[in-house]
Chain A
Amino acid sequence: MSLKVVLPSHLSAEARFSGLAPIAQSRYSLAMSQSAAPVTVPHTDQEQQTRSKDQPDRGYLVIAWNDPVNLMDYVTHVFQVVFRWPKARAERHMLQVHQTGKSLLVRETFEKAEHYVHQLQAYGLQATMERDQ
């Protein structure tokens, strides 16, 4: 039996507000084989990065929630600024928030979803990130 331990660890360089330090993201996985002899599997950061890019876990939803205080034009403007959306798309999401109580804005990786939530909340919008079930 061999134990292969993969310890990918990378720093997200995602820009955050106000010069906040990037989050260190560590993921651990254990893999076992039936081979009797220990096996050394070469592992490079480059391989890990390639796999991460090939299979990004875009399982986080950024959702904007309705509130009675933020102005409709303001919400539209914030969506345009944060997501660089054209006005029509920003308005569509703003109206969805207004009429249904919430709008799914984007599905993203953890880091990007968190980044968007920070940006939206900097503008005072009620936005959260939720794991896609």
Chain B
Amino acid sequence: MKFLPNSKQTAAEPLLVFQISPREEALLLATLRLFPMLENAYHRVSKDPKTAAPAVQRLLEDSMSQLRAAHSRKLDELFRAPQRYFKDAPGERRLVLTAPQLEWLLQVLNDIRVGSWVRLGCPELEQARSVELTRLNARALHVMAICGEFQMALLDAVK
């Protein structure tokens, strides 16, 4: 996937256009179907038990839960009507996003990436290279790498 900085703008809202191959499109959609991966309990509001009063911690978890629900609803829309995001252009396929949609995709992909890392046992990256591969953790490592690649491509558009 590659950001096209000089793509033609016809909409009132600036659009971010990416060249994407059919295989990348299928891979992106399959990856997004893994969302959500992080659990609410992953989020800690503070390291200090006094600051992290149960109500304050619960508010953070509720907030993350609602955010994930909103992300999931948008993902359902994407899965139902991918043509709203993926467009045909002469000789190529394009992913077209607004700025808020880009932020949404970044958050979703990062949830999947961090969630995969958590399932691996939160290893240091050096350790991850020496992790004994099983079917499960090989998949998690693969998903982490895929999310990272898509995230970097999306970030190219906001640099």
Complex interface: stretch among A36-44, A48-56, A70-78, A92-100: A70-78
Could you say which residues of chain B place their CB within 8 Å of the CB of A129? 45-46, 51
Q: List 25 A-B contacts (CB under 8 A).
A: A16-B63, A17-B67, A18-B63, A20-B62, A20-B63, A60-B51, A69-B122, A69-B125, A73-B152, A74-B106, A74-B110, A81-B103, A114-B45, A114-B60, A117-B45, A118-B60, A121-B60, A121-B64, A123-B107, A124-B38, A124-B111, A124-B114, A129-B45, A129-B46, A130-B51
- In the complex, A123 Cα to B103 Cα: how many Å? 9
Contact with B along A10-37 (1 / 0, CB 8 A): 0000001111100100000000000000
Q: Tell whether A3 is near chain B: CB-to-CB under 8 Å.
A: no
Contact with A along B121-142 (1 / 0, CB 8 A): 0111100000000000000000
Q: Tell whether A122 is near chain B: CB-to-CB under 8 Å.
A: yes
Q: Tell whether A84 is near chain B: CB-to-CB under 8 Å.
A: no
Q: Do residues B110 and A131 form an inter-chain contact, with CB atoms below 8 A? A: no
Q: Tell whether B94 is near chain A: CB-to-CB under 8 Å.
A: no
Q: Which of B47, B51, B114, B152 contacts A69 (CB 8 A)?
A: B114
Per DSSP, chain B at the interface is: helix
- In the complex, A16 Cα to B56 Cα: how many Å? 13
Q: Tell whether A128 is near chain B: CB-to-CB under 8 Å.
A: yes
Q: Do residues A130 and B114 form an inter-chain contact, with CB atoms below 8 A? A: no
Per DSSP, chain A at the interface is: mixed
Q: Which residue of B lies closest to A19 (CB)?
A: B66
Total A-B Cβ pairs within 8 A: 84
User: How many of chain B's residues touch chain A, expressed as a range?
Assistant: 35 or more
| A: number of interface residues (CB 8 Å) | 27
Q: Which residue of B lies closest to A74 (CB)?
A: B151
Could you say which residues of chain A place their CB within 8 Å of the CB of B113? 69, 124
Q: Do residues B152 and A71 form an inter-chain contact, with CB atoms below 8 A? A: yes
Q: Do residues B117 and A69 form an inter-chain contact, with CB atoms below 8 A? A: yes
Q: Which residue of B lies closest to A87 (CB)?
A: B159
